[in-house]
């Protein structure tokens, strides 16, 4: 199985980079894991609805440019489906079992994901209605992917 996270913006904080590096190292025994960053679109603080759509559209095009046709795409979205870690683990296992060996997670920028990205997604995952910085979301998602592999292995890590 290959797992990729496509996300908007560069990871700047050293502590986030260190956490991602740790989970990438842990995941290396289970899967090929990578993070692909696309540039965020510079925008003023106050945006009109049309400007917001334009920013999300531009970032969305960049995201879609990093996704191949064969990849199973899971978009992180507040309106996505929440699930317990055990269910998430089973879903990842089922994807690998039933021919979806390339799984791509997508984390949008500060404005969220464009309709085109959400339409391309095979599934939407939510970590709840809290708003988290998208840089922190990379760490949370990486940990949950690692947790899923540990659950599927029967390891006590997840308890």
* Model confidence pLDDT, tens digit, residues 24-52: 999 999 999 999 999 999 888 889 999 99
Q: What mean pLDDT is reported for the chain?
A: 95
| pTM for the full predicted model | 0.96
| CA pair distance 85, 38, nearest whole angstrom | 28
Binding residues: 76, 108, 127-132
Number of structural domains found in the chain: 1
% of the chain with per-residue pLDDT over 70: 99
Domain limits for position 102: 2-41+52-158
Cβ-contact 3, 103 below 8 angstroms:
yes
Binding residues for S-adenosyl-L-methionine: 76, 108, 127-132
CATH code at position 57: 3.40.1280.10
DSSP state, 109?
B
Q: Is residue 15 part of a domain?
A: yes
Q: What is the phi/psi pair of residue 11, to 5°? A: -80, 120
Q: Is residue 46 part of a domain?
A: no
The candidate with the shortest Cα–Cα distance to 67, out of 125, 22, 107, 11, is 107
């Amino acid at each position: 199985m290959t797992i990729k996270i496509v996300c908007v913006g560069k990871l700047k904080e050293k502590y986030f980079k260190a956490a991602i590096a740790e989970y990438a190292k842990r995941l290396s025994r289970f899967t090929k894991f990578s993070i692909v960053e696309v540039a965020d679109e510079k925008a003023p603080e106050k945006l009109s609805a049309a400007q917001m759509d334009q920013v999300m559209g531009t970032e969305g095009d960049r995201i879609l440019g990093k996704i191949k046709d064969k990849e199973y795409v899971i978009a992180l979205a507040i309106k996505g489906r929440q699930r317990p870690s055990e269910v998430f683990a089973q879903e990842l296992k089922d994807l690998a079992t039933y021919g979806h060996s390339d799984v791509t997670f997508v984390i949008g920028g500060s404005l969220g994901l464009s309709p085109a990205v959400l339409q391309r997604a095979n599934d939407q995952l939510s970590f709840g209605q809290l708003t988290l910085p998208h840089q922190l979301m990379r760490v949370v998602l990486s940990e949950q992917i690692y947790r899923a592999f540990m659950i599927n292995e029967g390891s006590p890590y997840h308890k």
